Amino acid sequence: MTRRVSRWLLLALLALGAGLPITAPAVGAVGAGAAGADSVAPGPLAPLPQRTKLVYGVPPGVAFAVYVGLERGYFDEMSLDIEIEHLTNSAAITPNLVTGQLDLGHNSAAPGTFNAVARGLPIRAILDTSHYAPGGRSHVIMARQDLFESGQLQGVEQLRGRRVALGSVPGGLSIDLDLALRRVGMTVEDVESVQIPFVEQVAALANSSVDAAVTLEPFAMRVAERGAGQTIQYLNDVYPNHQVAFVMISNKLIERPELARAFASAYLRGARDYERARQFGQNVEEIAGFLSKYNQQPAQLVGSVFRNGGMTAIDPDGRINVESVQHDINWYRDRKYVDGDVSASAFVDSQYADYAVAALGPFR
């Protein structure tokens, strides 16, 4: 996949490779950026004047609102052709955004993202894709079945020295694991973190290559159904409202705010359908069927997770928890994963969510 990279971005990448400081233009100063978008009055949703393809990078199976939007035809109605590019290594999303290989990315609060922001590269977080609903059961620590049954691993206090699978290392779930371990006098440094995609963790537990996994639904229920593991901690209780992941855009969409607005409008329609299923039980089977096409989990299982309150939350207005993002930035910086000061409030750009909410009206 070959894409044209803007002149400023090429200079920025060269400077980054040479270790030189980079001063990025303010979002509102790049083409029709934030100021231009703010001046556009939202009205009835209208498609783009010509069809446009956008490439969306995401770890396998977790872009729930996008999947619903694709299956319901919301992106098509906005004249957007969304090409999903599943990346097993989520750390590749930020650099592929920067180089233009991706137009948008579904990324977690990860060090590579914040290091790019610290160097002034033009990336912004614009929409919520996953956060912990207080009292929910969406993200969990699971112990391997044989260790659980033998009593060797039935609580987080027994994780010391064990191999633990995470979707990315380090990543947002590393922070959750660390907070859970601190409750029992340990830290994440007291376990061996192993990077394994969520869709592969059931096999890793089943073949005993790891002792535990930090995962999310519906993958967690699949682990339990296969007899590969048991939940020993719900992370929603450890870090309520944790901003797990968000949609990111790079220079191309910062310079083309009409594309970001169209994407945000279709995305929020998908997110709201998802949340109606999660919160109110509306059209659960249909939404579960949509998701099962992409996450390799049976539709019946996904539907059961919806009904059991296990699916992750997506803000129906797309709002990102800036305070949570700043907490994660500080956690990484304290451990030398992030160099320099990064402001979450500068990284999170709410204008596109604001536009879509004004056009769509309140969530019902």
Average pLDDT over residues 37-51: 72
Please check whether residue 353 is in contact with residue 127, taking contact to mean a CB–CB distance below 8 angstroms.
Answer: yes
d(Cα 150, Cα 102) in Å, to the nearest integer? 46
pLDDT at site 44: 67
Return the bridge partners of 57, or none.
85, 105
Please check whether residue 314 is in contact with residue 274, taking contact to mean a CB–CB distance below 8 angstroms.
Answer: yes
pLDDT at site 31: 30
Please check whether residue 128 is in contact with residue 157, taking contact to mean a CB–CB distance below 8 angstroms.
Answer: no
Please check whether residue 132 is in contact with residue 239, taking contact to mean a CB–CB distance below 8 angstroms.
Answer: yes
pLDDT at site 11: 36
The domains spanning 7-132+243-360 and 139-237 adopt the same CATH topology: yes
Give pLDDT tens digits for 304-327: 989 988 899 999 999 999 999 999
Q: For the chain, how far is it from start to end, CA to CA, in angstroms?
A: 40
Comparing CA positions, the residue from 339, 356, 274, 322 lying closest to residue 124 is 322
d(Cα 19, Cα 15) in Å, to the nearest integer? 6
CATH code at 139-237: 3.40.190.10
Sheet holding 243-249, edge to edge: 80-86, 52-58, 104-108, 243-249, 124-131
Average pLDDT over residues 256-277: 97
pLDDT at site 5: 39
Q: How confident is the model at residue 14 (pLDDT cuts 50, 70, 90)?
A: very low
pLDDT at site 104: 97
26 has pLDDT over 70:
no
Give pLDDT tens digits for 158-181: 999 999 999 888 888 899 999 999
User: What's the one-letter identity of residue 112?
Assistant: G
Sheet holding 163-166, edge to edge: 192-195, 163-166, 212-216, 139-144, 229-234
pLDDT at site 6: 42
355 has pLDDT over 50:
yes
Give pLDDT tens digits for 89-145: 777 899 999 899 999 999 888 898 999 999 999 899 999 999 999 888 889 999 999
The full set of domain ranges for the chain reads: 7-132+243-360, 139-237
pLDDT at site 37: 42
Average pLDDT over residues 278-283: 96
Q: How confident is the model at residue 277 (pLDDT cuts 50, 70, 90)?
A: very high
3 state SS for 72-118: HCHHHHCCEEEEEEECCCHHHHHHHHHHCCCCEEEEECCHHHHHHHH
Token reading at 181: 């371990």
334 has pLDDT over 70:
yes
Q: Show Cβ contacts of residue 202 under 8 Å, excluding neighbours closer than 6 positions.
A: 219, 222, 223, 226, 228, 229
d(Cα 236, Cα 220) in Å, to the nearest integer? 14
289 has pLDDT over 50:
yes
pLDDT at site 135: 86
pLDDT at site 248: 96
70 has pLDDT over 80:
yes
Q: Which CATH class is domain 7-132+243-360?
A: alpha beta
Which segment of 104-108, 179-183, 284-288, 352-356 scores lowest on mean pLDDT? Answer: 104-108
pLDDT at site 287: 97
